[in-house]
Amino acid sequence: MEPSASTSSGPDHAAIARFIEQQILSGSRALAGGAQSHVYVYVDPAGRYAVKIPRGNPLWGWVERWIIRRERSIYARLEGLPGIPRCHGLVDGRYLVLDYVEGESFRAAQTRLDPAHPFFEQLREIIEAVHARGVAHTDLKRKDNLLVQAGDTPCIVDFGAAMVRGGNPLSRGLFRIARQFDRNAWIKLKYDGYRNITPDDRAHLHRLGIERASHWIKRRLRHLRRALSKKKDRSR
Ligand SMILES: Nc1ncnc2c1ncn2[C@@H]1O[C@H](COP(=O)(O)OP(=O)(O)OP(=O)(O)O)[C@@H](O)[C@H]1O
Ligand SMILES: [Mg+2]
């Protein structure tokens, strides 16, 4: 194994590589696990870090590694932006090291954040700053990708599905669509749906056909699940 060189101010990459191997070998539970990755918390005297590692699928492990390397390059583009965790690079070409963000997921905190809360204006500014660097997140509707820090300030994670603006007209067109996805997601998070939106915010909402379709399918599935569980309760 060849851990990449650590930065002078960042954590020790070789120590992180040992830590991750030991976590995997001992089967320790990760902080979180998504479709393609696990996140472990690594602590050293200098700080606390979130280490995102690919799941290691034997068939498409190379795709996972490609995605995590791409995510690292996106964090590098966003370096220094408030509301985005600092990235300390990749260990062994596949473990992404980020500053650990103390806080809770938006999913847990949303009930106390009404649409007038300054949190949403701060979130809008972060999203616009990310766009200004040529990156669209595209997965902001997933409430776990948004963290609420002390003082109710937002922080965005998970740039695994992010889109980067390229130079050609097709890429620029796709980027504009992805940017609109993020703006729509902001409205959906702020209003917890698409109801009671102020006229000012509604002017920024341009839902795409694919968004409407996926919203409709999710609602139908939710109704179906509810109906099935009621039926099950009645038959007990
Ligand atoms: N820097 C961080 N600080 C604190 N918690 C984090 C950090 N990065 C990620 N997390 C937590 O870990 C969870 C999973 O991380 P992330 O969303 O990046 O991966 P994922 O959803 O598994 O990604 P993918 O969908 O690409 O598999 C997040 O929802 C968040 O709760
Ligand atoms: Mg995620």
Instruction: Specify the residue with its C-alpha closest to ligand 1, atom 16.
Output: 158
Q: Which ligand sits nearest to residue 36's alpha carbon?
A: 1
The second-level CATH assignment, the architecture, of 13-99 is 2-Layer Sandwich (3.30)
Q: Output the pTM of the full model.
A: 0.89
Write out the chain's pLDDT in tens, 236 residues: 333 444 456 899 999 999 999 998 898 888 887 777 899 999 999 899 999 999 888 888 899 999 999 999 999 999 999 999 999 999 999 999 999 999 999 999 999 999 999 999 999 999 999 999 999 999 999 999 999 999 999 999 999 999 999 999 999 999 999 999 999 999 999 999 999 999 999 999 999 888 888 888 988 999 999 999 888 888 87
Domain spans of the chain, in order of start: 13-99, 104-205
The second-level CATH assignment, the architecture, of 104-205 is Orthogonal Bundle (1.10)
Domain 13-99 and domain 104-205, same fold? Reply is no
Contact 158 CB / ligand 1 (< 6 Å): yes
CA distance 135 to 158: 12
Contact 87 CB / ligand 1 (< 6 Å): no
Report how far ligand 1's centroid is from the alpha carbon of 33 (Å): 8
CA distance 153 to 226: 34
Please say whether the beta carbons of 101 and 147 come within 8 A.
yes
Distances from the Cα of 180 to the Cαs of 138, 146, 154, 194, 207, in angstroms? Answer: 9, 18, 20, 15, 8
